[in-house]
Each structure stands twice: as C-alpha cells, then as structure tokens.
C-alpha cells in the first residue's frame, strides 16, 4: 500500500481546568460526540495516516472512547505526562510517527467547529512551504499568539500574548493554533526550541520563526473565528453544540428535508436523510441512521443506528435502536424497536409495542400493547393486543415462530420455544405452550362459568346480614339464596 502523504497529530493532553470537571475536556460531548471526535473525523476526511492523539489527563479513557468510536481507523496514541507546552506535546508524538516523511497536520482536541473545507484550504496553501497555519481575527485577541509580519508582509514570528510588546498586542491577526507542516522540518526545528519565554513552555509557534529564519516564511490562512474557536468552559461547549446542530440542520434543509423546528432537532453527523423527509420537533436522529424519502418522523422520537425506508410514518414518541423498518410501515406512537428489530414493508407496529431481535414479514401487524422478543413473524400475520412472547426462561432466550397469515388473539402468551404454523388461529387469552400446526385453532382457557341472578341474590344476602341483631354469637341460618350461591 502507498504510504499516506499526510499524518496528523491531535493535541488533547490539556486538563481543561475551566470545565470544572472530573472528566477530561475532550470527553465532554457536543451534539452527541466527545470533542476529541471532531479533529479525528476531520483528519480522516483528509486521509491522514496515522493520526496520533496526544493524551495526558485521563489518557486511557480518551483512548478507549476514540478507539470505540473509530474502529479500524489508523489511530495511535502518545502520552504527554506533563504539559510542558504545545511544542513538547508535538514532540511526544514523534515516536508514533517514526518513518513518516510527508506532511504533518496539527489539530487541537477542543476545536470541534473546524470544517474539512477550511483544512483543505490550509493544506493547499501549505503545499510548497514548510509551515502553513490558520490565522483568525477575534473581536478580542487577548490571550492569543499574534502574527508578526515584516515590512513586506512576510510572517516573521508568532508572539504569545504574555511575551508580546504593547505594539505587538495591538495586532489583530492571531494564531488559531492549527498547522500543516513538513514533518522533517518540524522535527529539525523543534530540536532547537527552548523554554526561554514568559510561560517557561516549549512553544510550537516557534516553528514559524524558524521557517522565516530558513528563508521560507510560513503562510497564514485566514479562517472564520467561529470555526477555530476552542471550547474552554461549559458555556462555550453548549454554544459549539448549538452551532453544530444549526449547521447540520441547514445542510439537510437545503437537501430537501423539512425540519419543522430545527432548533429542537438533533441530527448526528453520520445520519443520512433523503429528500422529502419530514422531521417534527424534539426528534433525535443518532449514529448511522438513514431515513428514506417521504418518511415522517414524529414528535419526540429517538432513532439510533437504524434504517427507515421510504414513506414510513413514525408517529410521536417512538424509540428505535439498531432497527430496520421497511417502506410504508407505520410505527407508533410510543413504539419501541430494540436492536435486531427488522420490519418489512407495510408493517404496522402500534402504541406500547416493544420488539427485540424480531423480524416481521410484509404487512404484519401488532397494533397495541405487545412484547415480541426473539420472534420471527410471517407476512400478513396479525398479533392481537396484549400478546407477549415469553422468550426467557430465566437462563436462555428462546425463539417464537409465527407463520404467514397467522391470527393471534388478544392477550395471548406464546411460551417459547414455540411455533404457530401458517394460517393458524390462536384464540384470545390463550397460553400457548405447544406448537400449533398450520391452519389449526389453538385455544387454552378455563371453561367460563355464568351464574344467573347472582348479583341480586348477593344483595339480598348482604341486606339480611345487616338486619340481624348485633353481638349474636351463633351463626345465622343461611338463607335459601345464599345456599344457592354457594352451590353455584
């Protein structure tokens, strides 16, 4: 395989003191993803390989989370035990990058709003320069490194706020802290970077002065402040999440999706929606969810890692988790499809129906109050209200198979493992413990008893008892009516 032309380093060792949290800053979530997810995603968009995440605070947790979120990605981890500055952090990644001779992208773990297209502008600009970096013009530049230029406009250095002269502090052009460099140049230049500065840190920004000294000044690429602003506290975290949501909402609306109230709609980055999908307010579409054209997702629904076909009606407050729903199906309100639910076209699943590891054939229906677990349900089969698959015997999960065109009467318990053949009927209220052959009727109930006139007789009996003198020790003679009642 061809070696990748570009590797990436994600700096994520900082503690994030202003989050006031026991959790590492980069593990805090914005729009459903930890902050560290975003730079890794962007580096993958640019085909960086490897991507080295420099971790410190809660390094093991950060590593575990990212590995789980990016299975199979060319992720590596380097530990920076003590935070001695951005230059030191990059040096910590050097071992993991042994043998890489191409470009090196440096990203921050706490900058989730950066767009891939902005990074492409950076990498294009940097093609012939040892160092290219993103600059910005924040309303208040306090705290940022300033971009210092010579009379010809060449970038001579980045001077940190704490090291800057009053003249330099008046510069509005700031360093955003994201770079695309030549790897060889970085390792060579960082060798001579010291800590003789106001913070006693190894500054990665010293690369910029080194590039100027080498006669190849760094290029600055102006980026929108919003994109390159880092998250430092929970107010900024919530604001970043809001921007992420707004962006995704706009993307989908422009692609032909109706979002009734974009501000209350949560759509993860990997979700895919076809044109003419309608999403009602307060809906969360999460993970690798796909929704086909003409489908409507009702108020308050949460759909995660699921595939929804075309012209599906998902009525309010339905919850899907790793489920598949075929075209024209009608689901909910208040339906819960748990992992392994696979519903074919035209299936109806109504209110308070829960499915798990269950397939339903074309046109099958379970419209009210049912639990269908580990079941295979044939096409056009009707599952009555209150039906329950008793799929768990306390040790094992056991299968229920209903054929095509089966009718399951209301309030049936299907004690698994059990099979009901094609076209069979199960009478309401039955407890089915043995297989039912195709075309048969199965019925398991105790015989019904009817006692005519019972209510009037009991009333008479109660009235007689109330009239009897109080404190009588011996039992009253039973009336004829009461004797009849006892006999039934």
- Exposed, middle or buried by CB within 10 Å (0-12, 13-18, 19+), for 137? middle
CB contact at 8 A, 386 and 403: no
**Size, binding site for Ca ion by CB under 5 A:** 2
CB of residue 177 to ligand UD1, shortest distance in Å: 3
Determine the Cα–Cα distance for residues 401 and 79; give it in Å rounded to an integer: 53
Q: Based on CB atoms, which residue is closest to ligand UD1, 220 or 377? A: 220
- Taking CB under 6 A as the criterion, the residue among 34, 112, 130, 177 binding ligand UD1 is 177
Residue 367's contacts (CB-CB under 8 Å, 6 or more residues apart) are 348, 349, 350, 351, 353, 385
Q: Which does 67 bind (CB under 5 to 8 A by kind): Ca ion, ligand UD1, none?
A: none
Contact 446, 431 (CB under 8 A): no
Task: Return d(Cα 241, Cα 255) in angstroms, integer.
Answer: 21
- Cβ closer to Ca ion: 287 or 429? 429
Give the alpha-carbon dihedral of 398, 372, 343, 305, to 10 degrees.
Answer: -90
Site pattern 130..149 for ligand UD1 (x: CB under 6 A): --------------xx----
For residue 303, the SS3 value is strand
Looking at beta carbons only, is 378 or 409 nearer to Ca ion?
409
By beta-carbon proximity to Ca ion, the closer residue of 367 and 444 is 444
Q: Is 89 in the site for ligand UD1 (CB under 6 A)?
A: yes
Report the alpha-carbon distance of residue 361 to residue 164 in Å, rounded.
Answer: 71
Which residues, in sequence order, are CB contacts of 332 under 8 Å at separation 6+? 298, 301, 314, 315, 316, 317, 318, 349, 350, 351
- Give, as ranges, the residues between 357 and 386 that touch ligand UD1 (CB under 6 A): none
Residues 211-230 vs ligand UD1: string with x where CB under 6 A?
-------------------x
Do residues 267 and 244 lie in contact, with contact meaning Cβ atoms separated by under 8 Å? Answer: no
- Report if residue 304 touches ligand UD1, rule: CB under 6 A: no
d(CA 330, CA 368): 12
Q: What three-state secondary structure class fits 418? A: strand
- Say how many CA atoms lie within 13 Å of 255 toward its Cβ: 15
Cβ closer to ligand UD1: 84 or 247?
A: 84
Which of Ca ion, ligand UD1, none lies near 190, with the C-beta cut-off 5 to 8 A by kind?
none
- Is residue 205 involved in binding ligand UD1 (CB under 6 A)? yes
Strand partners of residue 174: 136, 146
| Binding residue (CB under 6 A) for ligand UD1 from 37, 38, 77, 108 | 108
What letters, b where the CB count within 10 A reaches 16 and e where it falls short, cover 165-194?
A: eeebeebebbbbbbbbbbbebbbebbeebe
For residue 57, the minimal CB distance to Ca ion (Å) is 57
Pick between residue 26 and residue 312 the one whose CB is nearest to ligand UD1: 26
Taking the C-alpha atoms of residue 488 and residue 484, their distance in angstroms, rounded to an integer, is 6
Nearer to Ca ion, 444 or 485 (CB): 444
Q: Please identify which residue in the block is written with the tokens 């990644």.
A: 93
Closer Cβ to ligand UD1, 198 or 263, answer by number: 198
C-alpha span between 483 and 366 (Å, rounded): 47
How far is Cα 280 from Cα 261, in angstroms, rounded to an integer? 7
- Asked whether position 403 contacts ligand UD1 by CB under 6 A, the answer is no
Binder of ligand UD1 out of 97, 106, 113, 158 (CB under 6 A) = 158
- E strand map for 101-162: 103-108, 131-136, 146-149, 155-159
User: Residue number with the shortest CB distance to ligand UD1?
Assistant: 145
Torsion sign (Cα): 170, 172, 177, 181 = negative
Smallest distance, ligand UD1 to C-beta of residue 155, A: 13
Q: Which does 86 bind (CB under 5 to 8 A by kind): ligand UD1, Ca ion, none?
A: ligand UD1
Taking CB under 6 A as the criterion, the residue among 8, 34, 52, 110 binding ligand UD1 is: 110
Binding at 343: pick from Ca ion, ligand UD1, none (beta carbon under 5-8 Å per type): none
- Report the candidate in 145, 224, 187 with the shortest Cα–Cα distance to residue 7: 187
Out of 102, 339, 386, 429, the residue judged to bind Ca ion by CB under 5 A:
429
For ligand UD1, which residue of 37, 77, 203, 334 counts as binding (CB under 6 A)? 203
- Active centre residues (catalytic): 368
**Residue 429 interacts with which of ligand UD1, Ca ion, none, CB < 5 to 8 Å by class:** Ca ion
Task: Confirm or reject binding of residue 386 to Ca ion (CB under 5 A).
Answer: no
Cα Rg of the chain, angstroms = 34
Which residues make up the interface to Ca ion (CB under 5 A)? 411, 429
Q: Give the interface with ligand UD1 as residue ranges (CB under 6 A).
A: 11-14, 54, 80, 83-86, 88-89, 108-110, 144-145, 158, 160, 174-177, 203-205, 230
């Amino acid at each position: 395989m061809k070696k990748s032309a570009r590797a990436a380093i994600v700096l994520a060792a900082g503690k994030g003191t202003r989050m006031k949290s026991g959790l590492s800053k980069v593990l805090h979530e914005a729009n459903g993803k930890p902050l560290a997810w975003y730079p890794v995603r962007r580096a993958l968009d640019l085909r960086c390989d490897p991507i080295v995440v420099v971790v410190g605070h809660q390094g093991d947790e950060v590593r575990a989370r990212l590995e789980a979120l990016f299975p199979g990605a060319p992720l590596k981890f380097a530990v920076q035990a003590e935070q001695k500055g951005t230059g030191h952090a990059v040096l910590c990644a050097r071992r993991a990058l042994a043998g890489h001779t191409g470009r090196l992208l440096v990203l921050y773990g706490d900058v989730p709003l950066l767009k891939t297209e902005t990074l492409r502008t950076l990498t294009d600009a940097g093609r012939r320069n040892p160092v290219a970096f993103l600059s910005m013009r924040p309303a208040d530049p306090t705290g940022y490194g300033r971009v210092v230029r010579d009379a010809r406009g060449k970038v001579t250095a980045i001077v940190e706020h704490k090291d800057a002269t009053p003249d330099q502090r008046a510069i509005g052009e700031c360093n955003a802290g994201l770079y695309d460099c030549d790897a060889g140049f970085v390792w060579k230049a960082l060798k001579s970077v010291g800590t003789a500065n106001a913070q006693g840190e190894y500054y990665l920004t010293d690369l910029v002065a080194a590039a100027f000294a080498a006669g190849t000044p760094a290029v600055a690429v102006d980026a929108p402040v919003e994109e390159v602003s880092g998250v430092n506290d929970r107010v900024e975290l919530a604001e970043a999440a809001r921007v992420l949501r707004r962006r995704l909402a706009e993307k989908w609306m422009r692609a032909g999706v109706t979002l009734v109230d974009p501000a209350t709609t949560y759509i993860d980055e990997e979700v895919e929606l076809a044109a003419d999908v309608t999403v009602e307010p307060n809906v969360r579409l999460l993970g690798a969810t796909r929704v086909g054209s003409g489908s409507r997702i009702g108020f308050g629904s949460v759909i995660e890692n699921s595939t929804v076909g075309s012209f599906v009606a998902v009525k309010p407050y339905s919850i899907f988790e790793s489920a598949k729903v075929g075209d024209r199906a009608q689901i909910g309100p208040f339906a819960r499809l748990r992992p392994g639910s696979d519903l074919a076209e035209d299936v109806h699943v109504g209110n308070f129906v829960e499915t798990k590891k269950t397939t339903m054939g074309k046109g099958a229906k379970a419209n009210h109050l049912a639990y269908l677990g580990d079941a295979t349900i044939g096409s056009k089969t009707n599952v009555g209200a209150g039906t329950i698959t008793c799929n768990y015997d306390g040790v094992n999960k056991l299968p229920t198979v209903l054929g095509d065109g089966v009718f399951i009467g209301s309030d049936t318990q299907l004690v698994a493992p059990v099979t009901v053949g094609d076209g069979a009927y199960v009478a309401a209220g039955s407890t089915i413990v043995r297989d039912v052959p195709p075309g048969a009727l199965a019925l398991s109930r105790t015989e019904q008893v009817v006692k005519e006139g019972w209510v009037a007789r009991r009333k008479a009996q109660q009235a007689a008892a109330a009239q009897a003198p109080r404190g009588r020790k011996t039992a009253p003679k039973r009336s004829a009516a009461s004797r009849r009642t006892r006999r039934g």
